[in-house]
Amino acid sequence: MPRPVTLFTGQWADLPIETMLSKAKSFGYDGVELACWGDHFEVAKADQAYCDQRRQQLQAHGLQCHAISTHLVGQAVCDLIDERHQTILPDYIYGDGNPEGVRQRAAEELIKTAQAAARFGVKVVNGFTGSSIWHLCYSFPPVLPGQIENGFKDFARRFKPILDEYQKLGIRYALEVHPTEIAFDIASAERALQALDYHPAFGFNYDPSHFGYQGVDYVGFIRKFHDRIFHVHMKDVAWGDSGAEAGVFGGHVDFHKPNRYWDFKSVGRGNINFEKIIRALNDIGYAGPLSIEWEDGGMDREFGAAESCAFTKRVDFPSSKIVFDAQFDKSKQS
């Protein structure tokens, strides 16, 4: 059976849920990955009746849902909080903006999100972690001894109690490895796992786009963390196409500007080799959804979402159940 192709609704939160579901179905999707913002999946309202209603809406449109996503609130758990967070967080999380209060309320909300996920009937919550040390990624003055280690300890101190609750509920938290998070490449992902003592409820929402322009082996990530790939995003990126004035760090230049070194693209139109990804996912036995996170500042999003769905269904294929040359053996011939 082919893997379901779903659409992450995070970039569509300006649309009401019913409109979003109708569009996802019309674009050819098998399901959606519901964002916990807008009215797509509201954790504060997600009692059993709310969760049952969402399931009924999905069924009415012939759509599946295998994960919900809490990137915005998750970002606040470990971040250095400032005014930017007020624009993405619910008012009841941001409150008076006191940084530690924001972080604690965000952590509480992540636990409530796992409880809501259990009521809704999904096993994976995708999200971010934030990071107290991202600003030290390329640091001058040089980082002091222990500064980076203390950042990973802070992450573990804040996330272990969250993950303990996830484990009790049978829910797994899938970090989207991404610049600005505690893990943004293979090395930092391994360090995050070590800091958590390889907590069984913690793994990754694999998204190749965030590795490609960094020069990170995005296929190698799948093989290294084969037992921690809890969910997969299909997202594309192009890099190195022209004489860039803004490099890997972005140069404070907005997306979809011709002087950027890299930019996100509709799936199949960038530099990511998705066939290699599918083969690696087959090798590790990943049977979950392929969820399209659509971002392309130069393309109509409805056109892009539809073509990305078609591309993903075309590039996906099941693994082989036989060794092709074993059939040379006469005993296996009819």
Q: What is the mean pLDDT of residues 142-162?
A: 98
Q: What is the pLDDT of residues 57-99, one digit of tens each?
A: 999 999 999 999 999 999 999 999 999 999 999 999 999 999 9
Query: In this structure, are residues 302 and 24 in contact, taking their beta carbons and an 8 Å threshold?
Result: no
Residue 229 clears pLDDT 90, i.e. is over it: yes
Q: What is the pLDDT of residues 7-30, one digit of tens each?
A: 999 999 999 999 999 999 999 999
Residue 155 clears pLDDT 80, i.e. is over it: yes
Crossing angle, helix 17-27 and helix 48-60, to 10 degrees? 30
Q: What percent of the chain has pLDDT over 90?
A: 93
Residue 1 clears pLDDT 70, i.e. is over it: no
pLDDT at 142 (0 to 100): 96
Residue 316 has, within 13 A of its CA and on its CB side, a CA count of: 22
pLDDT at 128 (0 to 100): 98
pLDDT at 320 (0 to 100): 84
Provide the whole-model pTM.
0.96
What sign for the dihedral angle of Cα 320, 325, 329, 334? positive
What sign for the dihedral angle of Cα 164, 167, 171, 175? positive
pLDDT at 333 (0 to 100): 74
pLDDT at 7 (0 to 100): 98
Residue 322 clears pLDDT 90, i.e. is over it: no
Q: What is the DSSP letter of 320?
A: P
pLDDT at 241 (0 to 100): 80
pLDDT averaged over every residue in the chain: 96
Return the exposure string of 15-49: e unless at least 16 CB atoms fall within 10 Å of the residue's CB, then b.
Answer: eebeebbebbbebbbbbbbbbbbbebbbbeebeee
* 3 phi, psi to nearest 5 deg: -70, 140
What is the H or E stretch that residue 126 is in?
Answer: strand 124-127
Q: What is the pLDDT of residues 100-123, one digit of tens each?
A: 999 999 999 999 999 999 999 999
Alpha-carbon span 79 to 251, nearest angstrom? 22
pLDDT at 243 (0 to 100): 80
| 78: its two tokens | 């470990």
| 248: its two tokens | 């890997």
pLDDT at 207 (0 to 100): 98
pLDDT at 180 (0 to 100): 97
Q: What is the pLDDT of residues 234-270, one digit of tens each?
A: 999 999 987 899 999 999 999 999 999 999 999 999 9
Crossing angle, helix 147-169 and helix 99-120, to 10 degrees? 30
Residue 127 clears pLDDT 80, i.e. is over it: yes
How many domains does the structure of the chain reveal?
Answer: 1
Long-range contact set of residues 307-312: C-beta below 8 Å, sequence gap at least 24 = 307/266, 307/267, 307/268, 308/234, 308/266, 308/267, 308/268, 309/5, 309/7, 309/27, 309/28, 309/29, 310/28, 311/267, 311/268, 311/274, 312/5, 312/234, 312/267, 312/274
pLDDT at 60 (0 to 100): 98
What sign for the dihedral angle of Cα 128, 169, 33, 53? negative
pLDDT at 268 (0 to 100): 98
Alpha-carbon span 237 to 152, nearest angstrom? 29
Expressed as residue numbers, the domain containing 37 is 5-332
Helical H segments across the chain, by residue range: 17-27, 48-60, 71-78, 91-94, 99-120, 147-169, 186-195, 209-212, 218-224, 274-284, 301-315
CATH number for 121: 3.20.20.150
pLDDT at 34 (0 to 100): 98
Reduced 3-state DSSP string for 213-237: CCCCCHHHHHHHCCCCEEEEEECEE
Q: What is the mean pLDDT of residues 111-138?
A: 98
What is the H or E stretch that residue 5 is in?
Answer: strand 5-8
Residue 326 clears pLDDT 70, i.e. is over it: no
